[in-house]
Amino acid sequence: MARYLGIAAALAATGAFAITPEQMLSAPRRSTATPNPSGEVALFSLSEYSFENQTRSSAWQLLDVKTGEITDSGLDPSAVNEVVWLPGTDTGIIYINGTNDETPGGVTIWIGDIKKPSESKLVASLDAPFSGLRVANTSSGDLHFLVNSLAYPNGTAYNPESVPAPRHSGQLYENIYPRHWDKWLTKERYAVFGGALLANSSYGLAHTGLRNLLQGINFTVTRPESPVQPFGGSTDYDISADGSVFAFLSKATHLNKADFTASYIYLGPFDGSEVAVAFNGPDSEASAGGHKGASGSPTFSPDGSKLAYFQLDGDYYESDRAKLYVVDISTGYGGVGISNWKPLAPEWDRSVSSIHWAPDGESIFVSAEDYAITRAFNIPLSAEESFVPERLTNVTSVADFSVLPDSSLLVSASSIWTSRDFYVLKSDGTQNVLFSSTDVDEALAGLGQHTYEEFFYTGSLGIELHSLVVKPSNFVQNKTYPLAYIIHGGPQGSNGNVWSTRWNFQVWADQGYIVVAPNPTGSTGFGQYLTDAIEGEWGSYPYEDVVLGWEYVKDNLSFVDTDNGIVAGASYGGFMTNWIQGHDLGREFKAIVTHDGISNTLGAYTSEELWFIRHDFNGTIYDEGATYEKFNPFNHIANFSTPQFVVHNTLDYRLPESDGLGLFNVLQTKGIPSRFLNFPDENHHVLNVENSLFWHTEIFNWINHYSGIEGALDALAIGD
Ligand SMILES: *[C@@H]1O[C@H](CO)[C@@H](O)[C@H](O)[C@H]1NC(C)=O
Ligand SMILES: *[C@@H]1O[C@H](CO)[C@@H](O)[C@H](O)[C@H]1NC(C)=O
Ligand SMILES: *[C@@H]1O[C@H](CO)[C@@H](O)[C@H](O)[C@H]1NC(C)=O
Ligand SMILES: *[C@@H]1O[C@H](CO)[C@@H](O)[C@H](O)[C@H]1NC(C)=O
Ligand SMILES: *[C@@H]1O[C@H](CO)[C@@H](O)[C@H](O)[C@H]1NC(C)=O
Ligand SMILES: *[C@@H]1O[C@H](CO)[C@@H](O)[C@H](O)[C@H]1NC(C)=O
Ligand SMILES: *[C@@H]1O[C@H](CO)[C@@H](O)[C@H](O)[C@H]1NC(C)=O
Ligand SMILES: *[C@@H]1O[C@H](CO)[C@@H](O)[C@H](O)[C@H]1NC(C)=O
Ligand SMILES: *[C@@H]1O[C@H](CO)[C@@H](O)[C@H](O)[C@H]1NC(C)=O
Ligand SMILES: *[C@@H]1O[C@H](CO)[C@@H](O)[C@H](O)[C@H]1NC(C)=O
Ligand SMILES: *[C@@H]1O[C@H](CO)[C@@H](O)[C@H](O)[C@H]1NC(C)=O
């Protein structure tokens, strides 16, 4: 640690100390850590990119949960896609090897010991690219596991490498939702498969092979699919500890996928004796009580007697409060039954994300966004309706956590100043910090909490609104720095104290800005009222909040130069920058940056997430009283005059690139200095590291020119 402080101090003295886009993008990225059953060691993956060599290297590393010592696990990162600790052992592992010598495009399952990973044994050869391994040890010693893969309509797993090249590329549709996120839909859907590894034959795969657990479910409109795309993974399903029951998530089968968000939890017996059934679907007690929306995180209690999950109420709203529920599970008499369906702490005004049971099964740990920080909380099963859990964590944001056998938590966290912290949070509230990337990664040297501030101001609805402030690493008292005002996406989202490789506020600040990142109306983590209040109000309350926040900064933050500021935003933040361009606040900025944001709301029906615009614009595009026309940035083109940098990517199917091109063409025709940046191979996010470096370099070049930051390149030198 001292060594890096030395470097930081030396750099600070020259005034050069800062984190560059290249450093941020090439710094190691660490996954969350998963402890072994006894909680003594935890496994995580690390990956880092070399701009010098244009190569990415990765590793599977072991964290000693007592000392924080990190060692290489010896697992070959080029072969091992994912690893699970073998339940019931301390050092046993089961992993997916991404190659299969027998079936190109397939994968293999291996069992071994973390102390001698090179002696692992191949136990199963799978003929498709399965992933998302979940494992249970049964009383017989057989292992029951779940994996997922795309499957043909007949249920057979789909291996793209075994399919002959099609003779034409046409894709025909007769239902809405032909594409989503960055993929055109084909006939295949994701499915969860179950398999058994038999103890009596060195864990050989049972001759029955893998069973598609979604087979046999009847549907009227939408074929069942799990995990739910595009972001669903192995937390969309679970298997009970004794391997007898599985649960998975699928969108509602009687509703179409474009207009509705509703999804339900299915339960079934692992032995296949009954078809899986959704227990919180349309005919359930949950639905009768008005809880009809998207579900998530089905998680069995340690003894398998209960299942916890979350669900939203509205069937076409994606940012409703996610409330925690518990049901009792019973097996036998032909199938899996549920009883005692119960909401836990339903009046708590926060949305639950990850769910982890306490070892005694008497309480549930959850994570939830709370005042721009994702924190851990504990909710006892005996909680009253009005129960409000205490904050267990503070300052940094929880990425995920695991519950150790003594009920302490192994937390993987991040913040503006650290890409990954690992710490143990004991039941008495004390923390044992095991690791902080800022202490060891040279690219992050010198980052710290000293650049981070927050302020509150009164918003348009009379509510106290929160905003982050991030100063440059080499901040000098009594100097002023131009404002970089950053509007978040969603709009139901937040600017939070979290590390990001896409919008890293420290990297922006270290160009020589004060980053101010407000949480206006629509933001999450401050109570459902603020989130919901943006419905049908995209350009009203949030715009007024953004104006009030800017005025607060001008009036109260003496180190911010608001005369030379810029404003930037992506997604809804991109819409807001376009809205700002047409309104008075737009005249207060030297430049605007818009990433994949709506410029013409009347084009919104090119998106496939019709549920979203129907909710947020207060109706369909043909409903009277809907607000597409009212909050259309293109109605204010007459006032557009601030230089604007427009990014729009081709694979962003929810916000097609025509929106960005239309905006750029308007700016160009009006003679407003502007640039258009397109990545044909990126979706809503710029994920490729070389692309991201180009994105940062060109945007910073542009804004630094207009805000007058010294050393900026000539932004007008692009030619045609
Ligand atoms: C690039 O490759 C060279 C030669 O293999 C190696 O010496 C160097 O450390 C690598 N650089 C990075 C940043 O990995
Ligand atoms: C699985 O559980 C059985 C019964 O408790 C036990 O005998 C066996 O050792 C366990 N297997 C593993 C891999 O932990
Ligand atoms: C992965 O599988 C390949 C065969 O497909 C084998 O050669 C290799 O040793 C395996 N690696 C690991 C770490 O299991
Ligand atoms: C399912 O359909 C695929 C593609 O048509 C085919 O290759 C496969 O053999 C079928 N599986 C079964 C069990 O019929
Ligand atoms: C292992 O047990 C399974 C039933 O669980 C049985 O079908 C199989 O024949 C047994 N194999 C051996 C090698 O005993
Ligand atoms: C699905 O529908 C078929 C045909 O109506 C019926 O025979 C079958 O029992 C149904 N399956 C379930 C799980 O409801
Ligand atoms: C969290 O941190 C804030 C600011 O440092 C402090 O005011 C608050 O008391 C802390 N809360 C807990 C639960 O530690
Ligand atoms: C900043 O300015 C104030 C008042 O003008 C002065 O008292 C203070 O010493 C200055 N601080 C530095 C670090 O220059
Ligand atoms: C500046 O801060 C003061 C004190 O918090 C507050 O009363 C005032 O409204 C702020 N100014 C603006 C323009 O928000
Ligand atoms: C319009 O928005 C209001 C709240 O702003 C809501 O109560 C109403 O249901 C919405 N109407 C439609 C058609 O979405
Ligand atoms: C342009 O801005 C002026 C000044 O705020 C306003 O009066 C006018 O309505 C705006 N025009 C449009 C088309 O938004």
Contact 217, 275 (CB under 8 A): yes
Q: How far is the CA of 636 from the centre of ligand 11 (A)?
A: 7
Provide φ and ψ at 295, rounded to 5°.
-110, 170
How many angstroms separate the CA atoms of 495 and 502, rounded? 13
Q: Where do the structural domains in the chain lie, given as residue ranges? A: 68-159+180-212, 447-707
Active site residues: 571, 652, 684
The pLDDT assigned to 17 comes to 59
Q: Whose C-alpha lies nearest to ligand 6, atom 5?
A: 218
Q: Whose C-alpha lies nearest to ligand 6, atom 4?
A: 218
* Mean pLDDT per 10-residue interval, the chain, length 720 residues: 38 59 98 98 98 98 98 98 96 98 98 97 98 97 98 98 95 95 97 97 96 98 97 97 98 98 98 95 96 98 98 97 98 86 98 98 98 98 97 97 98 98 96 97 96 98 98 95 98 98 98 98 98 98 98 98 98 98 98 98 95 97 97 98 98 97 98 98 98 98 94 55
Q: How far is the CA of 218 from the centre of ligand 6 (A)?
A: 6
Which of 218, 166, 214, 161 lies closest to 190, judged by CA? 214
CATH 3.40.50.1820 fits 447-707, yes or no: yes
Beta carbons within 8 Å of 352's beta carbon, 6+ residues apart: 297, 310, 322, 323, 324, 366, 367, 368
Is residue 115 lining ligand 7, measured as CB closer than 6 Å?
no
| pTM beyond cutoff 0.85 | yes
Is residue 141 lining ligand 2, measured as CB closer than 6 Å?
yes
How many angstroms separate the CA atoms of 562 and 590, rounded? 10
Q: How far is the CA of 434 from the centre of ligand 7 (A)?
A: 21
The pLDDT assigned to 710 comes to 76
First to last CA, the chain: 49
Q: Whose C-alpha lies nearest to ligand 1, atom 14?
A: 50
The pLDDT assigned to 332 comes to 77
Identity of residue 625? G
Q: Whose C-alpha lies nearest to ligand 8, atom 5?
A: 478
Q: What per-residue string of b and e applies to 569-588 under the rule 16 or more CB within 10 Å gives b?
A: bbbbbbbbbbbbbbbebbeb
Q: Looking at the CA of residue 477, tell me the nearest atom of ligand 8.
A: 13
Q: Looking at the CA of residue 154, tell me the nearest atom of ligand 4.
A: 1
Tokens of 653: 């199917």
Q: How far is the CA of 156 from the centre of ligand 4 (A)?
A: 6
The pLDDT assigned to 413 comes to 98
The pLDDT assigned to 714 comes to 54
The pLDDT assigned to 96 comes to 98
Which H or E run contains 658? helix 658-669
